[in-house]
Amino acid sequence: MIKTPKIKQWSLMAKKERVVRISVTLPSDLLREFDEVIRKMGYGNRSKAVQDAVRLFVSERKWLQEGSGPQAGVLMLLYDHEVRGLEDTLTDVQHNYAHIISSTMHIHLTERDCLEAIAVKGDASEIRKLSDELSSKRGVKILKAMIVSL
Ligand code: NI
């Protein structure tokens, strides 16, 4: 049997998969906003936009549920560097996970806010542990993850 990488199988499947019609109830304001956004993006029809939105949602949340296996991506962290000891703590945590962190980019956003983009590659459970440790620190305002399974 020829083994193709998972990511390729997935994109092929997305193209060939049979489609199913569903009916969804939405608040009218949300639908209006959705239509406005997709119109500006140049979508010709709602179905394609909904498919893309669902796909994005699935890939964004799925990594959190996968117990193990290789993953890669970026953790984006927004924090207040004036919270005492936070910067040192975040650095310490990252040193503990040096085996899965390829690089970190630090951006001084405002007087107080710092943005860090942490590139990660490693086992799902390790990435999740790192993400949880970072986001639970006082002074960390947002942690967003963009992770794909390999
Ligand atoms: Ni900074």
State residue 59's pLDDT score.
79
**Domains in the chain, CATH or no CATH each:** 25-65 (1.10.1220.10), 70-149 (3.30.70.1150)
Percentage of the chain modeled with pLDDT above 70:
89
Give the H or E element holding residue 145. Answer: strand 140-149
State residue 72's pLDDT score.
95
Q: What is the mean pLDDT of the chain?
A: 88
Could you tell me the distance, in angstroms and rounded to a whole number, from the CA of residue 125 to the centre of ligand 1? Answer: 28
Could you tell me the distance, in angstroms and rounded to a whole number, from the CA of residue 35 to the centre of ligand 1? Answer: 37
Give the H or E element holding residue 100. Answer: none
Could you tell me the distance, in angstroms and rounded to a whole number, from the CA of residue 114 to the centre of ligand 1? Answer: 4
Could you tell me the distance, in angstroms and rounded to a whole number, from the CA of residue 87 to the centre of ligand 1? Answer: 9
pLDDT band, very low/low/confident/very high, at 81 (cuts 50, 70, 90): very high
State residue 64's pLDDT score.
74
Could you tell me the distance, in angstroms and rounded to a whole number, from the CA of residue 63 to the centre of ligand 1? Answer: 28
In 87-117, which positions are buried (b, 16+ CB within 10 angstroms) versus exposed (e)? bebbeebbeebeebbeeeeeeeeeeeebebe
Q: Which residues make up the environment of ion ligand 1, defined by Cβ < 5 Å? A: 108, 114
pLDDT band, very low/low/confident/very high, at 85 (cuts 50, 70, 90): very high
pLDDT band, very low/low/confident/very high, at 21 (cuts 50, 70, 90): very high
Give the H or E element holding residue 10. Answer: helix 6-16
Could you tell me the distance, in angstroms and rounded to a whole number, from the CA of residue 148 to the centre of ligand 1? Answer: 27
> Hey, is 110 helix, strand or coil?
coil
pLDDT band, very low/low/confident/very high, at 150 (cuts 50, 70, 90): confident
